[in-house]
Homo-oligomer: A and B are copies of this chain.
Amino acid sequence: MRFSRVFTLLSLLMSQASFAESQWRTPQSENLVYLQLESGTVIIELAPFMAPKHVSQFKALIAEGFYDGLDFYRVIDGFVAQAGDVSEQKPSINKALLNPEFSRPTPATSDFMLVQSPDFIAPQTGYIQGFAAGRDPQAKQEWLLHCPGAVAFARDVDANSATTEFYIVIGQATRHLDRNMTTLGRVIYGMPTVQALNRAHINNTSGVIEDASKRSKILWAKLAKDVSPKEQLNIQVQQQDSDQVKQRLSSAKTLNNAFFHFKGNGNLDLCYYQLKSRLVE
């Protein structure tokens, strides 16, 4: 069993660190969405600080049961899994056209935690409230990164055309979508379930699965408060400024471990260093 000793050591360090409860946070219940798929449960943490109107509409749609029985109709391996009402005909009082929330002006007291500057796509990358984020100090803008697990609203060519459909990034970070799409959350539990979603055929470049019977279904989507106690999961996410996160980032920059013979150049791809989750059972 090779290529694991070094990681076992890291794991020990991490599990010791985890004794300190301050290393982990429990997301606010009102920011959690449960997606029940046929193959498992997915939990999304919403980011109202970045996309308040999209979050509000998403929550209203979920509360009315809009997504129940809909499916992931456009799934391209290495790119995104897109879900919702492919017909765009399903009625709802909550499907207003949304103005874009691609980024936000940097607040006077931003809790952005800088990790990498410059990043190869953004002037700066780091974390905001536990989410992988970008920042442009010149433009005084902040946004969420399209890392694996990012949840964003789909739209048409017009920036203000998003209404109900959403996608989850399942491949290498689709960073060209940063500041072009409204990212409103990220998957904090169940990415293996998302990764197991049925894909479009390899030759189908549009990615739309035409045969509806081959699409993975959303049995239901609920706000955490509407999920029965026995279906609730006690999921926690690393604190962005915890010792274990700082130690991981520091080790990642120097690769100061005998396992690594080439020590890198000190740069980090933040999408690889997203904050981890754990279940408390």
Contact = CB atoms under 8 A, between A and B. Distances in A.
B78 A148 contact: yes
Contact of A1 (B7, B74, B121, B271): B74
Given A205-B15, A272-B171, A121 B267 contact: yes
Contacts of A278: 202-203
A93 interface: no
B264 A176 contact: yes
A157 B258 contact: yes
Interface in A6-51: 6-8, 10-11, 14-15
A7 B206 contact: yes
A65 interface: no
Given A77-B191, A77-B192, A167-B3, A159 B261 contact: yes
29 contacts: A1-B74, A1-B87, A1-B165, A4-B154, A4-B208, A5-B156, A10-B205, A11-B206, A15-B205, A78-B191, A78-B274, A102-B261, A119-B120, A157-B258, A157-B259, A170-B195, A172-B173, A172-B271, A172-B272, A174-B272, A176-B264, A178-B262, A179-B261, A180-B260, A192-B199, A195-B196, A196-B196, A202-B277, A269-B269
